[in-house]
């Protein structure tokens, strides 16, 4: 007995809890999203320019190497000041083409031999010669060593004279090769002609040994300087008259003995494959180069300047340099966007010191105001130059500290844009849908839907004009009902804005009561498991409502399609058709089209509702819809006013046609083949395949429901009775009336491939 009372007591308590929870569910329909509005922080980046000045000294030979902070820096200006410029010792090749041809110098033997060989030296400038290289070899052993001499030039006979400017013992071995002959003191010579002599005339008499002697290579085939003369010293104790065309192989180790002036020596600095002239300084051996606006990025952090002149291969000098460089710094940034208040921007540049003279320049956006600059959280604004006319921030050298953290804070106005919300009340299970109003601002859009409990329901991002301007979200039946807030945030690289819109979301009303057995089942389960039973009850109710709503949408879709007569896509500027399509057995009425266009011209565009961009005209018992998007115009002829969902589909279709074919329409010259793909877009958005002619393709492997089988049989019988090769789905409907069940059956057969459209 006691147990029975306790069970009854628990039953009463569970029943009361069920009533209480049901009341709470009812009240939840009036809950609004709480809070003071949603804010969104978006990451961004900005370019800044770092300027630095590098200074230093170099003692160099032929080039200057300067270290840049990194390979990404660009050189703007270069200032070079040269001092103590002079020619360095050069190795000058006079002849080096070897053909294994030699001439021999012998020990002195009056009988028959040559005791000396000589080749002309031609100097264009006063020169100090410290040595020569000759190519040769020695055979046999010899008492004594021949001399290498530089002698004067006899201009009458083009041979050596008796003047000896310098000499040294011959340095050579039995291995053929280049041998350096060093003079103990550099020989200073003026501009002019001289002779390089291999002299064996002073050697003692030596008996003849086959092949013995000192061999010096010469070139009589392709000499570099064929004009140079050569001469021999023979047994007559005289030098032969000089003859050209076969010079001996030799190189001079020399240094020009000239006062150096950059301009007279055509001294240049090579930068980015361009040669820039070095100007004369205030005294001999000085020079300078000031080159601005180079805009040159070497692509390496070790930057080398090569130095050239027209008289010598090598120069030595001292140089001081001052180089102005810059670098594009990509700084991280963010913007906090909230409706009805200014946007808050924060830029955090990583500023490093690269020299004793650094500067950072930031061209900030035109819309930014109330700028504040912080260094290590200390307000440095008064130490920073802010040019509000040219919108430039200059962070000077004196404020830059290595390792400091910088922040630039600013505000910008909240940019206004419009939301087109033809409908602000929806049922759970429906598609919440709205769009942007014209004019649409290009940029990034973020749509965030907040439910009545201040919880984010969904988030959608779009980039316009790449994406369309329609925001939609199908509200799950399991979501709470009440007031939802849709926030739309917009931003581009420099500006931002936010708008919001409230939507009332309700549980769909039902004219049909729920099945009694279902309610009893829900009640029993609710009593047993308390709160979980409430969810089952609500879920079951919503499933029923969702099914009914889906049927309503399907019916509307079917009716909209049946209302469609034809569709035209035209070039908005010229009015020329780029695509036309008739549906069912109706044909295009050119008179109707002309009348429509004339009506637009004479009466203007009559908008059916203020917040829509679809133009609607009632004309001769038909409805004509026109949607324009940039350079396209979409015209639809219908029997009756379509549903709201159809209007949204038309907007989506117009946008996608523009996105896919906007450029071709802009350049339209009459060729229509390129627009054939519009047919697929129309079917995608409007489901017009329902209106196409079909044939029946029976497939025993596809399972059909009884209603689908009946519809297939009806189609087969229709084709047979009328002796047609095709049929329209309208023919299968009673008096062209559309019911949700018939529409669903036909669409399922199209999807399964049993009803196949005829191309």
pLDDT tens, 394-442? 999 999 999 999 999 999 999 999 999 999 999 998 999 999 998 999 9
* Mean pLDDT value of segment 17-30: 38
* Ramachandran assignment for 62, one of left (phi > 0), alpha (psi -120 to 50 degrees), beta (any other): left
Q: Tell me the whole-structure pTM to 2 decimals.
A: 0.59
Assign 3-state DSSP to the chain and report helix, strand, coil percentages, each to 5.
Answer: 25, 40, 35
Q: How many helices (H) and strands (E) does the chain have?
A: 8, 44
Comparing C-alpha atoms, which of 656, 651, 662, 573 is closest to residue 612?
651
Query: For residue range 485-512, what is the model confidence (pLDDT) as tens digits?
Result: 999 999 999 999 999 999 999 988 654 4
pLDDT for the residue numbered 606 = 44
Q: What is the DSSP letter of 129?
A: E
* Mean pLDDT value of segment 140-150: 87
* Mean pLDDT value of segment 371-381: 96
Q: State how beta strands 213-217 and 127-139 pair.
A: antiparallel
pLDDT for the residue numbered 36 = 65
pLDDT band at 329 (very low <50, low <70, confident <90, very high): very high
> Residue 407's CB: how many other CB atoms inside 10 A?
15
pLDDT band at 33 (very low <50, low <70, confident <90, very high): very low
Residue 254 has pLDDT above 50, yes or no: yes
DSSP 670-733: S--GGGTTHHHHHHHHH-GGGGSEEEE---TTS---HHHHHHHHHHHHHHHHHT-S-EEGGGGS
The answer to whether residues 417 and 437 touch, using CB atoms and an 8 Å cutoff, is: yes
CA dist., res. 716 & res. 696, Å (int): 7
pLDDT for the residue numbered 673 = 84
Query: For residue range 348-359, what is the model confidence (pLDDT) as tens digits?
Result: 999 999 999 999
Contacts of 5 (CB under 8 A, 6+ apart): none
Q: First CA to last CA across the chain, in angstroms?
A: 79
* Mean pLDDT value of segment 46-74: 93
The answer to whether residues 728 and 736 touch, using CB atoms and an 8 Å cutoff, is: no
pLDDT band at 642 (very low <50, low <70, confident <90, very high): confident
């Amino acid at each position: 007995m006691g147990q029975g009372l306790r069970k009854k007591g628990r039953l009463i308590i569970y029943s009361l809890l069920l009533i209480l929870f049901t009341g709470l569910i009812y009240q939840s329909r009036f809950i609004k999203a709480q809070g003071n509005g949603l804010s969104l922080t978006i990451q961004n980046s900005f370019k800044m320019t770092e300027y630095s000045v590098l200074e230093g000294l170099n003692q160099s030979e032929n080039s200057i190497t300067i270290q840049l902070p990194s390979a990404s820096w660009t050189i703007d200006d270069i200032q070079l000041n040269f001092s103590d410029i002079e020619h360095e010792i050069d190795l000058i090749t006079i002849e080096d083409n070897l053909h294994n041809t030699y001439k021999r110098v012998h020990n002195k033997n009056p009988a028959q031999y040559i005791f000396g060989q000589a080749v002309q030296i031609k100097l264009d400038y006063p020169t100090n010669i410290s040595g020569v290289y000759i190519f040769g070899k020695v055979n046999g052993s010899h008492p004594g060593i021949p001399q290498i001499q530089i002698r004067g030039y006899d201009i009458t006979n083009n041979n050596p004279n008796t003047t000896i400017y310098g000499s040294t013992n011959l340095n050579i071995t039995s291995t053929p090769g280049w041998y350096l002959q060093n003079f103990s003191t550099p020989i200073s010579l003026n501009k002019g002609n001289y002779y390089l002599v291999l002299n064996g005339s002073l050697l003692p008499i030596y008996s003849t040994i086959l092949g013995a002697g000192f061999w010096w290579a010469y070139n009589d085939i392709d000499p570099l300087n064929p004009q140079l003369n050569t001469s021999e010293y023979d047994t007559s104790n005289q030098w032969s008259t000089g003859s050209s065309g076969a010079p001996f192989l030799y190189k001079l180790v020399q240094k020009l003995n000239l006062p150096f002036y950059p301009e007279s020596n055509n001294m240049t600095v090579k930068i980015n494959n361009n040669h820039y002239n070095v100007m004369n300084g205030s005294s001999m051996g000085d020079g300078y180069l000031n080159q601005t606006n180079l805009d040159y990025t070497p692509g390496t952090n070790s930057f080398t300047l090569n130095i050239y002149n027209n008289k010598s291969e090598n120069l030595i000098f001292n140089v001081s340099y001052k180089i102005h460089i810059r670098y594009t710094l990509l700084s991280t940034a963010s913007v906090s966007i909230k409706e009805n208040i200014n946007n808050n921007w924060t830029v955090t540049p990583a500023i490093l010191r690269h020299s004793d003279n650094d500067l950072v320049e930031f061209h900030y956006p035109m819309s930014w105001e109330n700028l504040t600059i912080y260094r290590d959280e200390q307000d440095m604004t008064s130490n920073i130059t802010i040019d509000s006319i040219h919108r430039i921030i200059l962070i000077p050298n004196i404020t830059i500290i290595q390792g400091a953290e910088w922040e630039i804070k600013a505000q910008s106005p909240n940019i206004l844009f419009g939301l087109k919300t033809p409908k602000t009340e929806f049922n759970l299970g429906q598609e919440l849908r709205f769009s942007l109003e014209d004019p649409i601002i290009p940029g990034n859009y973020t749509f965030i839907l907040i439910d009545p409990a201040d919880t984010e329901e969904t988030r959608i991002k779009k980039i316009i004009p790449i994406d369309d301007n329609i925001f939609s979200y199908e509200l799950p039946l399991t979501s709470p009902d009440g007031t939802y807030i849709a926030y739309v945030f917009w931003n581009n690289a420099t500006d931002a804005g936010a708008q919001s819109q409230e939507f009332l979301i309700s549980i769909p009303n039902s004219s049909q009561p729920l099945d009694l057995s279902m309610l009893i089942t829900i009640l029993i389960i609710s009593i047993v498991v308390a709160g979980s039973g409430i969810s089952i009850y609500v879920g079951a109710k919503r499933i029923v409502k969702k099914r009914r709503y889906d049927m309503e949408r399907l019916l509307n879709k079917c009716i909209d399609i049946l209302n469609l007569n034809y569709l035209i896509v035209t070039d908005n500027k010229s009015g020329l058709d780029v695509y036309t399509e008739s549906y069912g057995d109706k044909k295009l009425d050119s008179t109707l089209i002309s009348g429509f266009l004339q009506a637009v011209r004479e009466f203007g565009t009559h908008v059916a509702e203020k917040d829509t961009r679809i133009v609607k005209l009632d004309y001769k018992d038909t409805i004509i819809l026109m949607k324009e998007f940039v350079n396209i115009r979409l015209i639809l002829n219908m029997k009756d006013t379509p549903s709201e969902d159809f209007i949204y589909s038309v907007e989506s279709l117009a946008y996608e046609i523009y996105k896919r074919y906007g450029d071709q329409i802009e350049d339209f010259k009459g060729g229509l083949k390129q627009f054939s793909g519009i047919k697929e877009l129309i079917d995608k958005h409007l489901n017009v395949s329902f209106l196409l002619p079909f044939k029946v393709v029976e497939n025993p492997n596809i399972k059909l429901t009884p209603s689908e089988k009946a519809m297939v049989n009806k189609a087969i019988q229709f084709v047979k009775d009328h002796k047609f090769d095709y049929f329209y789905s309208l023919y299968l409907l009673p008096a062209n009336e559309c019911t949700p069940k018939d529409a669903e059956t036909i669409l399922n057969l199209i999807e399964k491939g049993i009803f196949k459209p005829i191309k």
